[in-house]
Amino acid sequence: MAVFSLVSAVAGFVKVRYLIDKAVIDNMVFRAHYRITSAILFVCCIIVTANSLIGEPINCISDPSVPGHVVNNYCWVMVSYTIPGKSLKPIPSDTAHPGLGPDTGDRKYHSYYQWVPFMLFFQGILFYIPHWMWKQWEEGKVKNISEGIRGALVETKEERLVRTNRLVQYMYETLHLHNSYAAGYFFCEALNFVNVVGNIFFIDTFLGGAFLTYGTEVVAFSNMDQEKRRDPMIEIFPRVTKCDFHKFGPSGGVQKLDFLCVLALNILNEKIYIFLWFWFIILAIFSGIGLLYSMAIVLLPSTREAILKKRFKFGSSAEVNALIRKTQVGDFLLLHFLGQNMHLSIFREILEELSRRLHLGSSSGASPTSVPSAPSTLEMSPIYPEIEKFGKDTEI
C-alpha cells in the first residue's frame, strides 16, 4: 500500500487538465518530456527503492564465521564483480552462473546499483527543468489574455463579442512585441531535445558504455541460437556476482573469503533500462521532428500559412497570406497557443477581426506598434476592471 500511495502521488504529472482551468502553453511532444517522462522516471525510482517488492536487494552465501547481514551489507557497500570471460561458458558444465568462475585477474565491478535510485530521480528533475524555465518565461500570458473564452463556447453573442474584441485589441496594440516570448519557447524546446539525447549518453556512461546498443542487443538476443547466445541483460545487470571479504583469522593473519551474491534488484533494473532505451529513442526522434517543425515555422512563412488554413480552417489563401505578412513569428506563436485554448469558431472570429484591423490600419498609414500604451496581461484579465475601480474609490 505504501508503494501504491507513492506511485499515486506521481500521477499529478499526467493528470488531464481542462482548458477552462489551465491554459495550454506547449505542444504534445513538449508535454511528453515533463509530464510522461518525468513521471516514468520518478515511478521507476520509487519501484527500485521499494525493497518489499523483491525482498533484500542483495543476498550473499555467508561463511558460518561471518553473520549473514554483515556479508550482505559489506558486499552492497564495497560492490561485487563478475568475470567477463565467463559470460559464454556453458552452464552448468563449465560455470555455475554466467560471468562466474575461477578468478583470472580480469574483473568487472558492478557498483552502479547503489546509484540507480538517485540517477532516476535526478533524470526526472532534468526532464522537468525546461518546462519550469518556460513557465517562468511565459508568466501566464496565454492564461490571462484568454480568460473567459478558453475552452467551451461563450454562452451569449454579446459577451463573446466583448471578450474577443478585448483580445483582438491586445493583439493589435502589442503586434511585433512577442518575438522574445517566442525565442524563450523555442529555446526550451531545443533544450528538451538536447536533454533527451544527453540523457542517452549520460546513462551509457553510467552503465559503462553498454546502454547505446542495449536495446538492439536485447532484440537480437531473442533471435540467436539457444546454445550460443549471450543475454545482454545478464551481462550488464548480473543476477549472481562474486564478493571478496577479508577478515583476521585466529592466528592474526588475513583470511580471504569468496562469496556468491544474488542481486535480486537487477531483475527490476534490467527491465527498467530496456524500457527507458526504447522510450528515450522514440522521444528523441519525435523531439527532433518537433524541433524541425519549429524551425520551419520560424524560417518559412508558408508553414505558418498552412497551419492557419489546415489546422484552424481560417479564411482564403489571400486572407491568410496577408495576415502572415503583417505579423511576425512571435505574434504567430501567441496566436497558435490561443487557438489551442479556445473553440475553433471563436478563434476564427478573432483572426478575422485581427485581419480586418490590420487591413484598416495599413490603409490609414498608421503602424500598429505605434500605439502609445498597450494593455498588459493584467489588464486583459476579467478582474482588472474591479481592481481599477477599487483603486479609484480609495484615492484621496
Sequence letter at residue 2: A
pLDDT in tens, 225-257: 655 566 778 778 888 888 888 777 677 777 777
Specify the pLDDT at position 54. 62
Specify the pLDDT at position 113. 80
User: Does 321 score more than 50 pLDDT?
Assistant: yes
* First CA to last CA distance, the chain: 61
Residue showing cell 478573432: 350
Rounded distance between C-alpha atoms, residue 336 and residue 316, angstroms: 18
Specify the pLDDT at position 394. 39
Specify the pLDDT at position 266. 86
Helices (H), the chain: 2-10, 28-31, 38-49, 68-78, 116-138, 141-145, 157-173, 179-206, 214-221, 232-236, 266-299, 301-306, 317-325, 329-341, 344-363, 384-393
User: Does 187 score more than 90 pLDDT?
Assistant: yes
Nearest to 142 by CA among 327, 330, 326: 330
Specify the pLDDT at position 237. 86
Residue spans of the domains in the chain: they are 143-190+290-393
Percent of the chain with pLDDT over 70: 75
CA 278 to chain centre: 14
Q: Between these two residues, 384 and 222, which has the higher pLDDT value?
A: 222
Check: CB of residue 341 under 8 Å from CB of residue 19. yes
Specify the pLDDT at position 364. 45
Q: Which three cell numbers stand for residue 278?
A: 526504447
Q: In what order do the strands lie in the sheet with 254-262?
A: 59-60, 254-262, 240-248, 80-82, 108-110
Specify the pLDDT at position 77. 83
DSSP state of 313: -
CA 83 to chain centre: 37
Residue partners of 70: CB distance under 8 A and separation at least 6: 62
Lowest mean pLDDT among 156-160, 184-188, 303-307, 342-346: 156-160
Burial tier of 288 (Cβ tally within 10 Å: 0-12, 13-18, 19+): middle
Rounded distance between C-alpha atoms, residue 377 and residue 141, angstroms: 6
Report which listed range, 4-18, 138-152, 342-356, 366-380, is most confident.
342-356
Kindly state the average pLDDT of the residues 20-44: 90
User: Does 374 score more than 90 pLDDT?
Assistant: no
| Backbone phi, psi, residue 292, to 5° | -65, -40
pLDDT in tens, 323-337: 999 999 999 999 999
Rounded distance between C-alpha atoms, residue 262 and residue 123, angstroms: 27
Nearest to 196 by CA among 84, 315, 276: 276
Nearest to 33 by CA among 171, 184, 188: 188
User: Does 391 score more than 60 pLDDT?
Assistant: no
Specify the pLDDT at position 4. 53
Question: What DSSP line would sit under 225-286, residue for residue?
Answer: -TTT---HHHHHS-SEEEEEEEEE-TTS-EEEEEEEEE-TTHHHHHHHHHHHHHHHHHHHHH
Specify the pLDDT at position 37. 96
Question: Which residues are bridge partners to 182 per DSSP?
Answer: none
Residue showing cell 527532433: 288
Check: CB of residue 154 under 8 Å from CB of residue 143. no
pLDDT in tens, 99-156: 676 666 677 777 788 889 999 999 999 999 999 999 999 998 998 888 878 766 655 6
Lowest mean pLDDT among 132-141, 187-196, 214-223: 214-223
User: Does 385 score more than 50 pLDDT?
Assistant: no
pLDDT in tens, 273-315: 999 999 999 999 999 999 999 999 999 999 999 999 988 888 7
Specify the pLDDT at position 52. 54
